[in-house]
Amino acid sequence: MTRTIYHIRHGQTDWNVAGRLQGMQDIPLNPIGQAQADGNGRALAAHLAAEGIDPARLHWFSSPLGRTRETMERVRAGIGLDPEAYVVVPDLREVSFGVYEGKTYEDIAETNPAHHAEILRDKWHFLPPEGESYEQMAERLRAWLARTSGDMVVVSHGGVFRALRAVIEGLDDPNLAHLLVPQDRIFVWRDRHGSWL
């Protein structure tokens, strides 16, 4: 049987607009982000209806950060489900940028050119001071996914999405760390095959 996983990135925040690394910082959605979350709710509702899928039969998982939880609750409300009836999963938190959270890549280039060069050369394996690498995040996500079963909706972050692509699709591509992740689209995996809705 094919397993289906829907992924939604949280809506836009002011730090997204400014290019600041958010990581574990709890930055709220801005009005555009709220509209994106509402739009993703409508899009997922239409897709599930067209596929004859009962959304109440899916497992719903969110990162613990506020921007993902608000996105999740807006999506669920748009589908007609109890906005708060979902599971918060600490392992779905964004990659930690450590001391660089709140900084832009330009800030890092100015204060630590060597680290900026490392990021450009191999962002997947770069370990920020007091943070974690994409490689480490992928391992925690691999362990979490192995403990789950059934079809699900995951609301998380751009970094988490990049790592999930590596884990689910079996990709060994460090360039995934640079993948652009829209905040107004839904991605779906059917087993190891993924595509945008």
193, β-bridge pairs: 190
Looking at the whole model, is its pTM more than 0.85?
yes
Each residue's pLDDT tens digit, 128-187 = 999 999 999 999 999 999 999 999 999 999 999 999 999 999 999 999 999 999 999 999
> Can you read off the two tokens belonging to residue 95?
């990659």
4-196: what fold? Rossmann fold (3.40.50)
